[in-house]
Amino acid sequence: MENFDTEKFNKLLSTTKLGRKLRYFDSIDSTNDYSEILVGKSHGRDLKILDGTLILAERQTSGRGLFNHKWLSPQGGLWFSLIIVTDIRPEELPNLTLITAFSISEALMDIYNINVDIKWPNDLYCVDYKFGGILSELKKDGKLQAIIIGVGINVNIDGKTLGGLDNIATSIQKILGREADRELIMAKILDDFERSYNYFSTTGDFKSLFMKWEKNIRYQ
């Protein structure tokens, strides 16, 4: 398994801001925890510098999901966090989680024709098998606030690595029957997210985005 090619990723990326500041690690405890440290060390105007920063790791030793559930994060997946500095209302945080899910869904549909089910509020499924999850956390610093969006996607993870989880979990590789292009997926997710987030933050219209993907949302 080759490491994530940051040079290839940068060439594929077409965003204005998201992912342009990349911190890449071979191994880290948790990308969300590291993001929290970055935000905690920033004050006032310095926090704005972090806007759009992408924290990406080959492996997480203490990856976590909702309710601090442990998240298996071996090499081959996409384990990352985005730092968004925004003035949206805290109650709108779930909207950003869903915009992230919509962006992942759109990327996988466009690249590999994979139909993603979004299990409310933050899990990603293909048919009845989970392959990803999202953990969004809000950190305040005076009038500014940073939203840390953590994402874990089983991309090139084989059945052996999934181990005893293969009866409930899957990966993009298993769905396709071949390895997927992690750099392309990562770039496409950020492209789609930036476009949708800019629309939402400018217009306040989340309904249009929701209606486009409502058919993919499962509530149980």
Contact partners, residue 114, CB within 8 Å, separation at least 6: 108, 126, 172, 175, 176
pTM for the whole thing?
0.94
Q: Which of 7, 37, 19 is nearest to 194 (CA)?
A: 19
Contact partners, residue 62, CB within 8 Å, separation at least 6: 29, 30, 33, 70
**pLDDT tens digits along 113-172:** 999 999 988 899 998 899 999 999 998 766 678 999 999 999 999 877 776 565 688 999
**pLDDT tens digits along 48-63:** 899 999 999 999 997 6
What single-letter amino acid sits at 117? D
**pLDDT tens digits along 20-56:** 999 999 999 999 999 999 998 876 667 889 999 999 9
Taken in order of first residue, the domains within the chain and their CATH numbers are 16-212 (3.30.930.10)
**pLDDT tens digits along 87-107:** 888 888 899 999 999 999 999
Q: Which pLDDT score, from 0 to 100, does residue 167 have?
A: 65
